[in-house]
Structure 1
Amino acid sequence: MSLNWIVHFSVNIKLSVGNTTLEFFTSDSLELEIQKLKVIL
């Protein structure tokens, strides 16, 4: 559920702001969050 929210939030940022740097930053942050979740699980 949290992961779905993170993905949804990431997609919204990419759709709302067409800034390439922000898109890469968001993608990297998303991957880090997924890695954290995997470690916790």
Structure 2
Amino acid sequence: VIVQRSLAAKNMTHSKGGAILAGYLKFLPLWLIVFPGMIARILFP
């Protein structure tokens, strides 16, 4: 998906922006699933 975003970009700025967006989307499940579980483990022993 990252390569497709880079190849389909209009210019280098859009290509870099697409790669950064894809990187953020890869970390999104970490924030939505793992961290709430860690916080719940601390709050409810």
TM-score range, shorter chain: 0.5 to 0.7
> How many residue pairs align between the two structures?
33
Task: Report which of the two structures shows the higher radius of gyration computed on alpha carbons.
Answer: 2
Report sequence identity in percent.
12
Provide Cα deviations, 1:6-40, integer angstroms capped at 9, x if missing partner.
Answer: xx2x4333223351101110011001000102233
Q: Which runs of 5+ in 1 are unaligned?
A: 1-7
Q: Which runs of 5+ in 2 are unaligned?
A: 34-45
Q: CA RMSD in A?
A: 1.8
- TM-score, length basis structure 2: 0.50
Runs of 4+ in 1 over 3 A off after TM superposition: none
- TM-score, length basis structure 1: 0.53
